[in-house]
Amino acid sequence: MARDTSDLVFCALGGIGEIGMNMALYGYGPANKRQWLMVDCGVSFADDNLPGVDLVMPDTRFIEAQRKNLTGIVITHAHEDHFGALIHLWPKLQVPVYATKFTAALLEAKRLHDPDAPKIDLRIIPSQARFTLGQFDIELINVAHSIPESNALAIRTPAGMVVHTGDWKIDETPVIPPTTDAARLKALGDEGVLALVCDSTNAIRDGRSPSERDVAKNLAEIIGARKGRVAVTTFASNVGRIRSIAEAAMANDRSVVIVGRAMERVCQVARECGLLDGIPDFLSPESYGFLPREKVVAVLTGSQGEPRAALARIARGEHPEVTLAKGDTVIFSSRTIPGNEKAVGNIINGLVRQGAEIVTDRNQLVHVSGHPRRGELTDMYHWTRPKIAIPVHGEAWHLAEHAELARSLGVPEVVAAGDGQIIALREGDTKVVDEAPTGRICLDGDVLINASEETIPQRRRLSWSGAVSVALALSEKGEIVNEPDVKFSGLPVRVGDGRLMDDVIADAALLVIDSLPKPKRRDPDAVELAVERAVRSAVNAVWGKKPVCHVIVLVV
């Protein structure tokens, strides 16, 4: 009988080495005939390195080529870094997507908001569901996190079981249940866990996260002590936090006004799913101005300094309905994501100038993370007792600290995986067996482009040193018919010695054409190339930067 060469393999197309664009693949079967399962399909937000780009997502060409063997996509929870790419990438994959009710409802709400969004084959599964996709037997396990209905997955195959934690923390007293299902995770440990693929976000932090309930208590105290208006900004998806704010408002006889479209959308979905039962209806921004100052709590989008969100517009005094004044309070019930500090700082300064008092998580417990610190990670390892640990969902530092912790807890094999590595999970012999192509796809306007294409580097160069266009008319003999026509963007008009940049460019063009031998002058391509080089170098000589240069030669 032939030896069964079926392996269980793990391959991340995104989400290792960064916090964002999570996309994991599990494969089972012989190397040439694997079945695949995708877990999560997330985005990252672009930074200054990708000018003009909003969203970044994993390059899926590896799994697109294997689409026939892709059994489905399971979404662990409705954070953008786990499901935000579905609308953009699903048309390339076109396999069923499995999600629980709240996640599915948020996806549907997002889809309706976007006229170009595809109709996704979405299958709603109950919490704690157990179902099979091809050779994969999948079980959802409740975990606490900063959004409702977060799930860890137990993925069973004939080659063993993987526990894929998704994003999680331990919270014995969450505002919206359930808690992390320790009993189930222990039972999986008893059954035998081959590999644990686990959240590393807070692996550099000792101890345990405080509970959402502690934040709720503090918010109620702070709001209770204020006389003026209170505005609270938080992540729109944190329904538990919104519920805490609403409960605090209720206890202090204040009405809740929701400001910002993303927040309105999540609140509507949360109500439909029963997550805001017992909370009075929220008011729309139009009511804000009519409420007595001591009777209102505004819940706002824009905690990360997003310039078009409600909070930024209020800070600039540009919001049509919501204003703040001396005696009012703004609570940042959020953490500033690294990279957003400056934008958030600008907003705080604007609010302080308007007289508002600011409360942040620097001086009060008004926010907790939804990710496990080292104490919680330790519990997860004790519960599941995996043979193999694969830290994911973290930057290099988080992953390294997580790996070190797993080793110190006695996990026999700890794998420092990278995006694209196809890792065979074999007890005692776990190794990289192949490599999948990976990369980053950018949503640039309405078009998906590959980050490695020339477009983005070109745009970076344009933002640094501008662009010059030179149009020339030559006769068939190669004689200049007209003065060169010069246009430029983003260059200084005059250079240090007082000359006009226009003249510097035109002179350089004329001089180089003069110097070309006759036969070359009759070749428009050769002239274009020579003029481009000469202009770039002449501009560099007077300015110290080389612009992008376009030369068009017309033969008349």
DSSP 8-state class, residue 497: T
How would you classify the pairing of strands 35-39 and 44-45?
unpaired
Query: Which residue, 166 or 478, is less far from Zn ion as judged by CB?
Result: 166
Min CB(143)–Zn ion separation in Å: 10
Min CB(166)–Zn ion separation in Å: 7
Query: Which residue, 146 or 255, is less far from Zn ion as judged by CB?
Result: 146
Min CB(275)–Zn ion separation in Å: 16
Min CB(506)–Zn ion separation in Å: 55
Min CB(392)–Zn ion separation in Å: 10
Query: Which residue, 151 or 301, is less far from Zn ion as judged by CB?
Result: 151
How would you classify the pairing of strands 70-74 and 447-450?
unpaired
Q: How many CB atoms lie within 10 A of CB 6?
A: 18
Q: Give the 3-state secondary structure of residue 130.
A: strand
Min CB(393)–Zn ion separation in Å: 6
Q: How many CB atoms lie within 10 A of CB 265?
A: 18
Distance in angstroms between the alpha carbons of the first and the last residue of the chain: 79
Query: Which residue, 81 or 306, is less far from Zn ion as judged by CB?
Result: 81
Query: Which residue, 369 or 469, is less far from Zn ion as judged by CB?
Result: 369
Nearest alpha carbon to residue 357 among 479, 225, 538: 225
Q: How many CB atoms lie within 10 A of CB 530?
A: 19
Nearest alpha carbon to residue 531 among 477, 468, 481, 457: 468
Query: Which residue, 79 or 265, is less far from Zn ion as judged by CB?
Result: 79
Q: How many CB atoms lie within 10 A of CB 481?
A: 11
CB-CB contact of 328 with 356 (8 Å): yes
Query: Which residue, 149 or 444, is less far from Zn ion as judged by CB?
Result: 149
Query: Which residue, 139 or 167, is less far from Zn ion as judged by CB?
Result: 167
Q: Which residues contact 297 (CB under 8 A, 6 or more apart)?
A: 223, 229, 230, 231, 232, 245, 246, 248, 249, 254, 255, 256, 257
Min CB(217)–Zn ion separation in Å: 24
Query: Which residue, 14 or 466, is less far from Zn ion as judged by CB?
Result: 14
d(CA 105, CA 96): 16
Taking 3-state DSSP, the helix, strand and coil percentages for the chain, each rounded to the nearest 5, stand at: 35, 25, 40
Note the helical H segments in 21-156: 61-64, 80-83, 86-93, 101-113
Residue 100 burial class via C-beta count within 10 angstroms: exposed 0-12, middle 13-18, buried 19 and up:
buried
d(CA 258, CA 237): 13
Min CB(19)–Zn ion separation in Å: 7
CA distances from 502 to 499, 532, 537 (A): 8, 14, 14
CB-CB contact of 543 with 476 (8 Å): no
Min CB(311)–Zn ion separation in Å: 22
Query: Which residue, 141 or 248, is less far from Zn ion as judged by CB?
Result: 141
How would you classify the pairing of strands 23-29 and 35-39?
antiparallel
d(CA 414, CA 390): 6
Min CB(339)–Zn ion separation in Å: 16
Min CB(40)–Zn ion separation in Å: 8
CA atoms within 13 A on the CB side of 233: 28
Query: Which residue, 212 or 328, is less far from Zn ion as judged by CB?
Result: 212
Residues that bind Zn ion (CB under 5 A): 79, 81, 167
Query: Which residue, 79 or 536, is less far from Zn ion as judged by CB?
Result: 79
Min CB(81)–Zn ion separation in Å: 4
CA distances from 421 to 11, 295, 418, 454 (A): 6, 56, 6, 26
